[in-house]
Amino acid sequence: MPRIGITGHSDLGEETTALVRRALDRELAAFGGGPELVGVTCLAKGADQVFAESVWEARGTLEVILPSVDYRETKVGADDLYRFDGLLMRAAAVRFMPFRTADEEAYAAANTAVLARVERLFAVWDGRPGTGRGGTADAVATARRHGVPVHVVWPEGAVRG
């Protein structure tokens, strides 16, 4: 059963989102889809949600790890609530990290929890260094330190918005 985690940028514009979606669809197709395919995500805006939609369309199973109990209320914007809630409702399992507030520590812990549950990590990442703990670059570095294979998905023409 392939278990794949996701990390990636949240600031993807419309065109980059479409490029990333097509790339993720192709990557996931290599695993055959169906309920044996498990996607593990923190369901953040951008790459995480695009990945979750790709997994769902491939008839895979979603597992969600939320960084904190206040994540939805404080980090999910009003323009993203419908999409976030729709994906959250489709999750076979939802786990909250033991943090009341979403901050760098909570994000780093959530990344570690994702990595503990997967065989590989997809990173929708432009390859640039991060600015702190819990972001995409940090998740990639942590995965590599723990021996989790990382597959960078950054299609030609992708830009951060």
Which pTM was predicted? Answer: 0.96
**What pLDDT digit, counting tens, does each position of 8-24 carry?**
999 999 999 999 999 99
Which domains can be identified in the chain, with CATH numbers? 3-151 (3.40.50.450)
pLDDT tens profile 116-154 = 999 999 999 999 998 888 999 999 999 999 999 999 999
Lowest mean pLDDT among 31-35, 61-65, 81-85, 139-143: 31-35
Helix pair 47-57, 81-90: axis angle to 10 deg: 40
Rounded to an integer, what distance in angstroms lies between the CA atom of residue 6 and that of residue 48?
Answer: 6
CB 90 within 8 A of CB 60: no
Q: By three-state DSSP, how is residue 7 classified?
A: strand
